[in-house]
Structures are given as structure tokens and as C-alpha cells.
């Protein structure tokens, strides 16, 4: 992904965050889908987004092979999806 792609995704994230929680400072905490999160700075967001997408791809691959879902990885994926304000996919149904 190019830096411009990340900037566009980050702008969408900020817009969604402010729509859900108002103008919170980066140090303030909000609750989203049962998880405590805070507004991420750009560098933090890029790290979490990349990890979120990496785990999402891994889950898609193992589920397409008919393997069982690792609960620890699924928990991490759900936690990351909350941080980046994305709805997690239900890989059991794929």
C-alpha cells in the first residue's frame, strides 16, 4: 500500500471515530464493541491496520483450507478490528 492509501484510510478512520465519539483527545478512552480504545495517531493506526489486515488474510487462508479457528488469533483480530473501527468478518461463515 502506498502512503497516500494509508492517509485516505486514516482520514476515513478519524471521520468515523469523531462521528462515533466526538472530538476526543488521543489520551481519552472510549468503549467500542465491548473494547476500550483510544484515538490512534497516524503511526499507531498504520501499525494496527497492517496487523489487522495480516491477521485477516491469515484467518481467511486457514478457514478456506477447512482448518479450525485459533481462539487466540480470533481474539486478537477482534481486538484490532475495534481499534481500527472495522467490523470483523465472521470467518466461520466463509
Tens of pLDDT, residue by residue over 20-63, are 999 999 999 999 999 999 999 999 999 999 999 999 998 888 87
**Within-domain flag for 47:** yes
Number of domains making up the chain: 1
pLDDT at 40: 97
Distance (Å, rounded) from C-alpha 37 to C-alpha 85?
Answer: 9
Contacts of 80 (CB under 8 A, 6+ apart): 48, 51, 52, 55
For the entire predicted model, the pTM comes to 0.80
pLDDT at 94: 55
CB-based contact 69:59 (threshold 8 Å): yes
If you average pLDDT over residues 76-91, what whole number do you get?
90
pLDDT at 3 over 90: no
**Could you list the residue range(s) of the whole structural domain that residue 31 is in?**
3-83
At 73, is the pLDDT very low, low, confident or very high (cuts 50, 70, 90)?
Answer: confident
**Within-domain flag for 42:** yes
Rounded to the nearest 10 degrees, the angle between the axes of helix 71-83 and helix 42-64 is 140
CB-based contact 91:60 (threshold 8 Å): yes
CB-based contact 80:48 (threshold 8 Å): yes
Amino acid at each position: 500500500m502506498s502512503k497516500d492509501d494509508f492517509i485516505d484510510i486514516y482520514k476515513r478512520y478519524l471521520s468515523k471515530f469523531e462521528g462515533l465519539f466526538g472530538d476526543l483527545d488521543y489520551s481519552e478512552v472510549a468503549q467500542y464493541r465491548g473494547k476500550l480504545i483510544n484515538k490512534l495517531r497516524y503511526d499507531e493506526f498504520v501499525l494496527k491496520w497492517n496487523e489487522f489486515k495480516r491477521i485477516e488474510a491469515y484467518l481467511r487462508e486457514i478457514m478456506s483450507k477447512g482448518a479450525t479457528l485459533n481462539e487466540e488469533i480470533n481474539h486478537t483480530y477482534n481486538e484490532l478490528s475495534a481499534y481500527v473501527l472495522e467490523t470483523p468478518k465472521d470467518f466461520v461463515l466463509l
